[in-house]
Chains A and B, each alone.
Chain A
Amino acid sequence: MEPILELRGITKRFPGVLANDHIDLKLYKGEILALLGENGAGKTTLMNILYGLYSQDEGEIFVKGNSINIQSPTDAIHAGIGMVHQHFMLIPVFDVTENVMLGNEYTKPGGFLDKLKAASHVRAISDQYNLNIDPNAIIEDLPIGLQQRVEIIKILFHDAEILIMDEPSAVLTPQEVEELFKIMHSLIDQGKSIIFITHKLGEVMECTDRIMVIRGGKVVGESTPEEANPETLATMMVGRPVELKVEKELSKPGDTVLQVENLTVVNKNKKIEIDDISFDVRAGEILGIAGVQGNGQTELVRCLTGLIKAELGTINILGVNSTNFDPRKITELGVAHIPEDRQKDGLVLPIPVEDNLVLNTYYKEPFAKGIVMQPDVITNNANELIDDFDIRTPNSTVSVSGLSGGNQQKVIVAREFSRPIKLLIASQPTRGLDVGSIEYIHRRIIEKRDEGCAILLVSTELDEVMQLADRIAVMYRGKILAIVDAEIATKEELGLLMAGISTQISGEKRKPRKVREIVT
C-alpha cells in the first residue's frame, strides 16, 4: 500500500545542533503512528518542518506519492496536513467559530464574514465526531479539554487528512486523555491518519498502531505495541537501560515540619485560587500534590514560599507561624524551593552559573564579608557543586542560559540541596527533562527524604506523584479533595479526583464546591 505521507532524508541544522539527521518516515491511511522521543530529540522540529513552520535543509516530503514543497503553514494546509500544537493556537477572546474559520474564512461577496455558515459547519463537524462543542462559546470560558477539541475541529474544518498531534495529553486529566483517545480512534475510523508525538510510554502502548523512536535527531527504532514493552522503548529513547521505577523504602515520618491550616488565597481579580485547604508534611515523608495544571498548585507553592500573600489561614514551618513571611525569611527557616518555571523563577538566566548557585545565600558568610562579595569562595563553591551534582557546563562562569534544561534544573537542585534544609517544596521538578535527568532528580529527592527532610512535591504528572510520594493530595479548583495513602491509591481513583469527582473509596470525602461559579 502506498503511504499517504512519506518523509525521506529530512535534515535540519540549527546553529551548533543537528536537530534532524536524515529522518525517514512513512504514515499509512487510517493509522496512528507514535513518534516517541525525549525532549530535544527532534520530534517537534520534524513536525514543524512538515507543517511548514521551519524549512528543511535536506530531504523531501511526499503526500500520496507526490513530492511537495512545504514552505509555510498555508502549503501544509493545502496538502491536507493539520497540527494540534502543544500550546494551543487559539485566540482566547474569540469564539469557537471565529477561531476555527480563521485563515479559511467563509465570506459573502465583498469580504464580509459569513459566520452563520461557518458556525453550522463547525456544528456539523462537532456532531460527526461527537466532540460536543458549541460554536458560539468563547474560548477562554472553555476548559482545556474542550479547547483541544476546538483545535481538532479547526484542523478538520481545513479538510486535513493527516493530523499531527504534538503532546496532546500533556495538559489533560487521565479521563480527558481517555476521551481524547476515543476521539482519535473515531478520526481514524473515518479515514484520517494521525501522527501522535509523545514521550509517555504508557500512552504509546495504549493507543497507537505503530511506534517510531527518535533520539538525537535520528530514527533509532520502529516497533508496534504488540512487539514492544515500556522497558525496551525507554532504552531506545535514552540509549541506555533506565530504571522506570523509583526504588524507595517505606517512609519513616517524624515530626510535623509544615502545617497548613485553612489556607485561602485570592488573586488580584478577587477570584479564589486556593480555597480553605489544610494539610501537613512530616519530616522524612513526601506529600505529593496531584492535579491538572491550573487548579491552584502554582498559587499554593507561591504562597508557601512567600511570593504571594495568603488571604486567610496559617502556614506553620517548624513551629514558626510563617504566614506571609517574605521569601528570604522563609528560606532562612530552612526551606528549599524548586520552582515550577525554572527559567523565570529559578534562575537569573544571563548571569554565570556560579552566581546562580548562591542566589539565596550570597549575602551571608562565607560568600560575603559585610557588603563585599567573595568571588573566590563563590567559584570554589560552584566547582564543588558542579562535580557533586554532575552539572554539564564548560566552566562555572558561563551564563546559565547556555545550559540545557536538565542541567539548568541541576543548578537549582544543587543550590537548594547544598545548604541545610528541613523542608523542600518542589514544583514540577522534572518538567521538560529527559528520562536520564528525571531519574537523577528523583533519586536525589528520595535521598533527601531519607535524610529526614520533609518534602512537598507538586506535579501534574500523575505517574511522578505516584512513584515518589508517600501520601497524595489531589487538588481541584483550589481545594484539596482528598489525601490518600500512595500505597493504596489507584490511578483511576486519583484521575477521578483530578476531574473533581470525589469517590467513596478515599478516606476523607468532601463535596467540591464550585468556586468559580460563585465568583462569576
Chain B
Amino acid sequence: MENTSKVTKKIFKKVEKAKSRQRIIGIIMFAIGMLIYFVLSRNTSPDLETLFVMTPGGSDVTTPDITFNSLLITNILAILCVLAGIFQYIKGFGKFTNIVLVLVGIMLTISFLTWGASGGSINVGGMLRIMIVRSVPIVLGALSGILCERAGVVNIAIEGMMITGALVGAILGSLFGLWIGALSAIIAGGLIAVIHAILSIKYKVDQIISGTIINIFTIGITSYLVTKILQEREWQYLNESGIFLPFSIPVLSKIPFIGPILFDHKIFVYAMYILVIVLTVALFRTKWGLRLRAVGEHPKAADTLGINVFKIRYVAVILSGMLAGFAGSYFSLGSAGYFNQSMTAGRGFIGLAAMIFGNWTPVGALGSGLLFGFAETLADNLQLLNFPIPSEILLMVPYILTMVVLAGVVGRSRGPAAAGIPYEKESL
C-alpha cells in the first residue's frame, strides 16, 4: 500500500494546487508591496513633499488639498500591501479577497502618483473627474455588449454601431439640435443592430463574422461620407453640432470632494449611472431579465417553456445597438462637437473587454470601465508630469489585466453558455 499513499500524497498536492488561487493573489499583493518599496520609495528623497489637489479645476465646491511627506506615505503603503499579501497567503481574506485586491491596486496607484509628483503637485480630483468622463463610452459599450451576450448573441459590431451613432448624431444634431441628434444616433445604432440581428438570428450567420462585416461596412461608409461630403466647404454646416453643456445635480454636486467629481457632468455621465442601475434591475429582478438570461444560457430550455427565443434575441440585439448608438453620440455630441472618422478609436472593443472584465454584469462593467478610464487619464497625465514611463505602457495595463482575468488566474470570468450559438428550432 506504500505506493498508494505516495499517490494519495501527490493527489493532495494537486488538490492544493487547485486551491492555490488564494496564494497566488497573496503573492501578487506581496509583490506589489515590494514594488512600491524598491522601485518607488527607494527613489524618493526623504525631504520631498507631495501635494494632492482634491478639487477639480473650475469647480466652486472646494475640498482642502492634502500635503504629505512622499517617502513616508509610499513606505506606509508598501508595508500595508506586504502585510495584506502575507495575510492573504497564510489565511486568506475569503470573500473579501477581491475588495482587498482592489484596495491594493488603489494603494499602488496612490504610491505611484505620490512618487511621480514628489516635490510638486497633482490634481487628483481633476483626474478622477476625467476618469468618469473617459469611462462613459467604455461603460456604455460594455452595457451594450452585456445586453446582447446575455441573450446569447455575440455583438462584436459595437464599434461599428458607435461610429454610426456618432456620425448620425453629428449630422442630425447640426440640423435639428442636440436632442434630436442624440435620439437619431440611438435609432441609427438600433437600425445597424437590425442587420446584425437578421443575419445572426434569422440566417444563423456566424455572429463574429456578421459583427466583423458590420464593422468594416460602417467604418468604410462613415469615412467615405466624411471625406467626400462633410469635408466639402458647402456641406460643413452638417458637421457642426456642438456639444451638450454640463449641468450639476442640485445638492449632490455640493458634497465635498465627490460632488464635483461625480455630479457635475454632461447628460451622458448621468445616463451611464442610470443605465447601470436600470440594467442591473432589469436583468436580475424582472421577468424579462430572467427570460433573457435563460435564452442566453439554454435557449432550448426556454423554448420548451413557451418563451419566444427569437423575439427575445431580436429585442436584445436591437436594444444593444441603440445603446451603442447612444454611446457613439457621446463622441460627437458630448465631446468633440463634430464628427471625425477616427473618433471612436476602438472604444467599442474596449467596451467588450470591460464587459468580460466585469463578468457580464452592469456593475462589473461600470467598475472595469472606470478602471480603463483611469488608465487613460493617468496616461495623459504622465506626459504632462514628465514621468519616466512611456504612456503607451500604462495604457496596456487594463488589457493585460483582462487577459489575466480571462485566463482564470485571478478570479474567473464566465460568460453566458449559449453566446455565439445560433438557435435552431427544428433541431430538437
Contacts and interface: CB of A to CB of B under 8 A. Distances in A.
Interface string A61-103: 0000000000011100100000101001111111000110111
B14 A311 contact: yes
Contact of B15 (A90, A107, A112, A270): A270
Interface stretch (A181-189, A261-269, A324-332): A261-269
Interface string A487-520: 0000000000000000000000000000000110
A59 interface: no
Contacts of B7: 262, 264, 276, 312-313
Contact of A93 (B3, B4, B417): B417
B428 A53 contact: yes
Tell me which of B7, B305, B417 has the highest count of chain A C-beta atoms within 10 A of its own C-beta: B305
Contacts of B15: 270, 272, 518-519
Interface size, A (range): 35 or more
A69 B330 CA distance: 51
Contact of A103 (B4, B12, B297, B307): B307
Tell me which of A88, A89, A102, A154 has the highest count of chain B C-beta atoms within 10 A of its own C-beta: A102
A105 interface: yes
Interface of A: 48, 51, 53-54, 72-74, 77, 83, 85, 88-94, 98-99, 101-105, 107, 110-113, 154, 262, 264, 266, 269-272, 275-276, 311-313, 518-519
Given A111-B287, A262-B7, A311-B14, 17 more contacts: A73-B305, A74-B306, A85-B304, A89-B305, A90-B301, A94-B297, A102-B302, A102-B305, A105-B287, A107-B287, A110-B286, A112-B285, A113-B286, A276-B7, A276-B8, A312-B10, A313-B7
Nearest to B8: A276
B305 A104 contact: yes
10 contacts: A51-B304, A53-B303, A93-B297, A93-B414, A102-B302, A103-B305, A113-B290, A272-B14, A276-B8, A311-B14
A89 B301 contact: yes
Contacts of A54: 426, 428
Contacts of B42: none
Contacts of B10: 264, 312
Contacts of A93: 297, 414, 417
A94 B289 CA distance: 12
B427 to A, nearest CB: 11
Contacts of A313: 7
A91 B305 contact: no
B17 interface: yes
A270 B14 contact: yes
Given A89-B301, A90-B298, A269-B18, A262 B3 contact: yes
Contacts of B14: 266, 270, 272, 311
A269 B414 CA distance: 14
Nearest to B281: A112
A77 B306 contact: yes
B298 A271 contact: no
Contacts of B304: 51, 53, 73, 83, 85, 89
B288 interface: yes
Interface string B270-288: 0000000000000001111
A111 B15 CA distance: 45
Nearest to A518: B15
Interface in B396-428: 414, 417, 426, 428
B346 to A, nearest CB: 31
B303 A111 contact: no
A48 B288 contact: no
A72 B428 contact: no
A264 B11 contact: yes
B4 A262 contact: yes
B305 A276 contact: no
B294 interface: yes
Contacts of B294: 91, 94, 102
Contacts of B303: 53, 73
A13 to B, nearest CB: 13
A155 to B, nearest CB: 10
Interface size, B (range): 20 to 34
Contacts of B417: 92-93
Nearest to A73: B306
B291 interface: yes
Nearest to A14: B426
Nearest to B10: A312
A270 B17 contact: yes
B265 interface: no
A104 B304 CA distance: 12
Contacts of B286: 107, 110-113
A102 B18 contact: no
A113 B300 CA distance: 22
B11 A91 contact: no
Contacts of B302: 102-103
A264 B305 CA distance: 42
A518 B14 CA distance: 11
Nearest to B3: A262
Contacts of A264: 7, 10-11
Q: Which 8 A-B pairs have the closest CB atoms?
A: A103-B305, A74-B306, A89-B301, A270-B18, A73-B306, A105-B287, A91-B297, A91-B298
A103 B18 contact: no
Contact of B428 (A48, A111, A266, A276): A48
A343 to B, nearest CB: 14
Contacts of B4: 262, 276
A199 B304 CA distance: 23
A220 B414 CA distance: 49
A313 B301 CA distance: 41
Contacts of A276: 4, 7-8, 11
Nearest to A276: B7
Tell me which of B287, B293, B303 has the highest count of chain A C-beta atoms within 10 A of its own C-beta: B287
A70 to B, nearest CB: 11
Contacts of B287: 105, 107, 111-113
Nearest to A158: B305
Contacts of A72: 306
Nearest to A93: B297
A89 B11 contact: no
Interface in B88-118: none
Contacts of A101: 290
Nearest to B298: A91
A98 B18 contact: no
Contacts of B17: 270
A89 B306 contact: no
A105 B290 contact: yes
Nearest to A110: B286
Nearest to B428: A53
B288 A111 contact: yes
Nearest to A513: B8
Contact of B290 (A73, A98, A262): A98
Contacts of A103: 291, 302, 305-307
B288 A89 contact: no
Interface string B8-31: 101110110110000000000000
